[in-house]
Amino acid sequence: MTCLRQVSANGHEFNCYDSGEGPTLLFVHGFPLDHTQWSAQFDELSRVARVIAPDLRGFGVNAAVEGTLQMSDFADDLAALLDALDISTPITLCGLSMGGYIAWQFWDRYRERLNGLILCDTRAKNDTEAVARGRLQLAERVIRDGFQTAGEDMLKKLLAPENQTELPHVAAQLLTVMTTTHRTTIAAALRGMAERPDMTERLGEINLPVLVICGSEDVITPAEEMRQVAAALPRATYVEVPHAGHLSPLENPGIVNGEIRAFLGSLS
């Protein structure tokens, strides 16, 4: 049975995983990936929740976009997607990395639609000037040369060193997704991430249950930084996932799925 459907929302078409019944758990993927980043969550968590995992605007098999994709644009898309799916009760949003940047914006604009947040391997801080400049340069390079070389470099940082060799099928699948993502979409998301707001001073306002998850070997958004984010959130629980890098839900699903299930249980 396929759980993929096409959904029209906010003037765009979205390829979207939708399976299960119960409270809604909305998964928001990282950069430059698609809904398959959550494939290790689907079977187990759709037994206890309605799991929704779209390809974000421009990503996966969705139509390419150009220009700049602000994190708030994605948040608006997600709210419209929930409307299109007739979901009006509060949801739990789980975002990884860029998905976490989007989660902050969803909270900022639609907090009444949330009963909880799960933030995986992400950060609250915005880019330094040097990092933002690097993203804009990479955007130009990707338009010109594609994402093959950048994708191979990024892959080395996405998975923990042992998982590069122990999970070869996962590494191969990630590289395929990254290198088949539309170049203009990659550039648009890079520009949007470079402009995203700093959320560090606002963490104290997020008065929701939050589960903060980080791979112990994450070199992109290190555990120490995520620990500080959790400490600044009024109602957060922090979980560090062993044998995992930046993609902890994919690298160590046993731990992550158990934590998400327990978190969902605590909300009901």
Q: Is 23 in the site for ligand MLT (CB under 6 A)?
A: no
Please give the sequence-ordered ranges of beta strands (E in DSSP) within 145-258, or none if there are none: 210-215, 236-241
| C-alpha R_g of the chain | 17
Q: Rounded distance, CA 240 to CA 227, Å?
A: 9
Q: Which sign does the torsion angle of CA 188, 112, 80, 50 carry?
A: positive
Q: How far is the CB of 180 from ligand MLT (least distance, A)?
A: 17
CA-closest candidate to residue 96, choices 258, 248, 232: 248
Q: How far is the CB of 135 from ligand MLT (least distance, A)?
A: 8
What mask, x for binding ligand MLT by CB under 6 A, covers residues 226 to 255? --------------------x---------
Residue position matching structure tokens 């003037």: 11
Q: Is 193 in the site for ligand MLT (CB under 6 A)?
A: yes
CA-closest candidate to residue 9, choices 63, 85, 66, 101: 85
> Which residues within the stretch 96-125 sit at the binding site for ligand MLT (CB under 6 A)?
97-98
Nearer to ligand MLT, 80 or 154 (CB): 154
**Eight-state DSSP code of residue 169:** H
Q: How far is the CB of 157 from ligand MLT (least distance, A)?
A: 8
Q: Of residues 30, 95, 215, 249, which one binds ligand MLT by CB under 6 A?
A: 30
Q: Is 220 in the site for ligand MLT (CB under 6 A)?
A: yes
Three-state DSSP state, 133: helix
Q: How far is the CB of 134 from ligand MLT (least distance, A)?
A: 10
Q: Is 192 in the site for ligand MLT (CB under 6 A)?
A: no
Which residues bind to ligand MLT, rule: CB under 6 A?
A: 30-31, 97-98, 193, 220, 246
